Amino acid sequence: MRRVIINADDFGMDSERNRGILSAAEEGLVTSVALLANGEGLKEHLPRLLDIPSISVGLHLNVTEGEPLVMPSRSPFFRGKEPFWDGLDGESVSGDDVRKEFRAQMNRFMALTGRLPSHVDGHQHIHVAAPLVSAVIDLCREYRIERIRVPFDPTGEDRWNRSSEAARTLFAAAGLRSPDHFRGTANAFRPSLDRFLNDLESIPEGASTEIMVHPGYRSVGGCAFSDERREEELAILRHPRVRAAFTAFECIRYDEL
């Protein structure tokens, strides 16, 4: 049978995103949640999230948005997705600064949740950016994390897919486990019921797949990504056709991979 992890990204972004993710988790629509350790809204609703036994909770490493915990805020970090990815080639990346920030985010995750994350992934897939991969692997080794996202998606951006292919080899060599496939990129930006169902249909038999989702409610005054599309993703997860489609899969948590 095909196994799927339905992972909701960005818990901690803001109250509206938290409420949407909580609704999805409590309704059994997602099996995993990724936390932004530097998120302004992380503490809000967190105890309620941690009381849901049907989900695993992972760390969503972040060096593009919000404020750093310990790292100096300088280009290309914490200036947004495009400045980060566009600036990697032309900017000097301090490995020590990255490692300190990753460790601080891990420690805050553990302090607030009382547990290790089920897996590690990256906000806007920063964890597969070539200059950061070694720091991510070192973090996983230090804290004995065994699972990590590889966001190679047929509908994804070329730069993410190229980085993902290179990172997959390095992650595997370090003993990290990842789902066989990944879906959800296009639907995050242009939510569509038909596209979501097509993504499910495209998952091969006998494989494990992570489906990335971003359910939430529209955030007034929030970032551009926190608009009506988050409510559209939540509505897609709730749709009877999607619920029926998931009956053909074994829906697992990340810690069951």
Domain CATH number, residue 209: 3.20.20.370
Of residues 190 and 79, the one with the higher pLDDT is: 190
Which pTM does this prediction carry? 0.94
| pLDDT of 75 higher than 70 | no
Mean pLDDT, rounded, for 40-67: 94
**Amino acid letter for position 231:** E
Q: How far apart are CA 213 and CA 10, in angstroms?
A: 9
| CA-wise closest residue to 128 among 158, 106, 90, 94 | 158
Contact (Cβ atoms closer than 8 angstroms) between residue 253 and residue 208? no
Mean pLDDT, rounded, for 5-29: 96
Q: Is 9 a catalytic residue?
A: yes
Structure confidence by residue, pLDDT tens digits, 183-207: 999 999 999 999 999 999 999 999 9
| pLDDT of 9 higher than 80 | yes
Where would I find the beta strands (DSSP E) of 16-69?
A: 32-35, 56-61
Mean pLDDT, rounded, for 66-91: 78
What pLDDT is stored for residue 171 in this prediction? 98
* Domain limits for position 232: 3-256
Of residues 78 and 183, the one with the higher pLDDT is: 183
Q: How far apart are CA 38 and CA 117, in angstroms?
A: 15
Tokens of 200: 């499910």
The per-residue b/e assignment along 18-43, b for 16 or more CB within 10 angstroms, e otherwise, is: bbbbbbbbeeebbbbbbbbbbbebbe
pLDDT band at 140 (very low <50, low <70, confident <90, very high): very high
What pLDDT is stored for residue 219 in this prediction? 82
Which one of the listed residues 9, 14, 153, 255 is annotated catalytic? 9
Question: How many structural domains does the chain have?
Answer: 1
